[in-house]
Amino acid sequence: MRIAWAERGNGHPLLLIQGLGYARWSWEPIVPALAEQYRVLFFDNRGIGDSDKPEGPYTAGQMAEDALQVLDEAGIGQAHVLGASLGGMIAQELAVLAPERVAKLVLCCTHPGVRHGLPMPEQTVRLFQAAATLAPDDALRRFVENALGDDPPAGVADELYRRRLENPLDPAGWQAQAAAGTTFLGVDGPIEHETLIVTGTADNVVDPRNSDVLAEQIPGARVEKLAGLGHLFFWEDAPGFVRIVREFLDG
């Protein structure tokens, strides 16, 4: 499997794992600041960007093996791991698959698995239903706006929309990735790492209450709730999110 990855900075390694439909470019708001302190690795999941796009469906477990491959190729024995949305599910699988390779764990806007988690908010369910009747660019714009909070900073939606247009999805790859999220039951072993769970209280994509459910399954996990921010809170308040991550990783 060819997994395209990049790195920036020095210090303790920090692996970033992105969610459904977003390639490594989508970490740009936070990578420069994190790279001042950490060796940041970020990559394209299978099915998107410059990575291979094998026939799906995929599983979160398979995608965790891809993340482990990145650590191997970078020569890293252990790293902090930060995953967002589907990437948070992959990060959970990685923490169980190879616990010795994970230092601290940051799980963002993510889900504990369909065995225990709450379903997708109705607003996003309705958007998926309506998308088939919309022009593709209009649907894309709606999905971008839906992933942001109640009052996102000026220009954020426009910039995300522009970048999504510049980086079109492979439809089969998107479907294969989506299957990894919808079939994620939850991990089959304990997560014993020091864990930070971050959610935006205005997340329309993953019900924010899932963060509390997830915290109940990870001993000692801490939950940080970002008032008024949406699913892509690391675009809405990159400095604030970086500060929270640094305080947790260095605390």
138: CATH: 3.40.50.1820
Across 100-123, average pLDDT: 98
Helices (H) and strands (E) in the chain, counts: 10, 7
The pLDDT score that the predictor gives to residue 10 is: 96
Domain that holds residue 61: 5-250
- Copy the structure tokens of residue 230: 């949406």
Burial class, 159, CB count within 10 angstroms (exposed 0-12 / middle 13-18 / buried 19+): middle
- Copy the structure tokens of residue 30: 């936070």
pLDDT band at 111 (very low <50, low <70, confident <90, very high): very high
Pairing of strands 38-43, 5-8: antiparallel
The pLDDT score that the predictor gives to residue 113 is: 98
* Cα separation, 123 vs 64, whole angstroms: 29
Going from the C-alpha of 119 to that of each of 123, 131, 140, the distances in angstroms are: 11, 19, 22
Compute how many other C-beta atoms are within 10 angstroms of the C-beta atom of residue 139: 16
Compute how many other C-beta atoms are within 10 angstroms of the C-beta atom of residue 235: 25
- Copy the structure tokens of residue 231: 């699913």
Over 104-141, what HEC string results?
Answer: EEEEECCCCCCCCCCCCCHHHHHHHHHHCCCCHHHHHH
Going from the C-alpha of 136 to that of each of 91, 131, 140, the distances in angstroms are: 31, 8, 6
| Total number of domains in the chain | 1
pLDDT in tens, 172-210: 999 999 999 999 999 999 999 999 999 999 999 999 999
Mind giving me the DSSP string for 31-83?
HHHHTTTEEEEEEPPTTSTTS---SS---HHHHHHHHHHHHHHTT-S-EEEEE
pLDDT in tens, 3-22: 999 999 999 999 999 999 99
